[in-house]
Structure 1
């Protein structure tokens, strides 16, 4: 990591992923050992977790949520991985009714079109404001993004209201 931090951020923002690829290659074994020792994560799962964390980090840099590299990048990324592991363990202990409700919502979410899925993911899970959603989705402005999100939530609500026997019409995704 001999590159100056500002240069790394600039390269990441313009889509150059060399830094991330190099980090993955250099840290993969150490991360696997850490995840296995501290969190009982299998090697294949650890590799996938590290890739997911690096992609999340890349997204944070690319869309401006992260404006400077942390002093200890490895500790920052390991912390992100720990948060994912802890969240996964927390959901595993849900009561059966809540777990099945969440599974049903996830299944219904899959019936939405890809644009609706992206909009809802950006807004609810990544915390993007409507301006940022509009930019990511190519909408004219924040108002259009808000209206699109509203329509997607309405569609998801209608799917939930239909009851447990839902099958998507003609097995195609439902979109606005």
Structure 2
């Protein structure tokens, strides 16, 4: 899987819903991944296999919704990096006070209720650190001012969702 054309074909097939590449990847790499997970994170085989499935689903979501614009040349290293990042995040969340961890989980749930465009907008700006010019290019807006307004609208929607859930509670 080295040539750019092969990588582009795989990405295209993922975008149209064909998951056979990921299934094959899982079957061929799960034992190797389990050994890596045992060495790096002291995970037994079953939780390691579950982690690999979770990471591959996240990878598929990234490819399907356009967050992943090109397939990495070393997919195994990319997937292992995603798994490592997820394990580190789990450890970080575990040391948070219970109230803060709960608040973050609630906010993440609300974030997932936003429209995909709003999610992308906020991800580009806050998590990837893109400026408004770059966000406007990624999202297909006319200019940075449109991106700025859309970010404001997306934040407002998230805030309103949070207010609604607090009013219900």
TM-score range (shorter-chain normalised) is 0.5 to 0.7
Where in structure 1 are there 5+ consecutive unaligned residues? 169-176
1:155 equivalent in structure 2: 157
Paired with 2:112 and 2:71, the residues of 1 have a C-alpha distance of 33
2:142 is the counterpart of 1:134? no
Could you say if the C-alpha distance between residues 100 and 14 of structure 1 is closer, same or farther in structure 2, counting changes exceeding 3 Å?
Answer: closer
Paired with 1:96 and 1:130, the residues of 2 have a C-alpha distance of 34
Where in structure 2 are there 5+ consecutive unaligned residues? none
Deviation of the 1:122 alpha carbon: 5.1
Could you say if the C-alpha distance between residues 97 and 46 of structure 1 is closer, same or farther in structure 2, counting changes exceeding 3 Å?
Answer: same
Which of residues 3, 6, 22 in structure 2 aligns to 1:5? 3
Paired with 1:56 and 1:159, the residues of 2 have a C-alpha distance of 24
1:172 equivalent in structure 2: none
* Contact 1:133 1:145 survives alignment (8 Å): no
Deviation of the 1:43 alpha carbon: 4.3
Could you say if the C-alpha distance between residues 49 and 155 of structure 1 is closer, same or farther in structure 2, counting changes exceeding 3 Å?
Answer: same
Deviation of the 1:39 alpha carbon: 1.9
Could you say if the C-alpha distance between residues 113 and 69 of structure 1 is closer, same or farther in structure 2, counting changes exceeding 3 Å?
Answer: closer
Paired with 1:35 and 1:68, the residues of 2 have a C-alpha distance of 21
Could you say if the C-alpha distance between residues 25 and 127 of structure 1 is closer, same or farther in structure 2, counting changes exceeding 3 Å?
Answer: farther
* Contact 1:123 1:133 survives alignment (8 Å): no
Structure holding more helix per residue: 2
TM-score by length of 1: 0.63
RMSD after superposition? 3.8
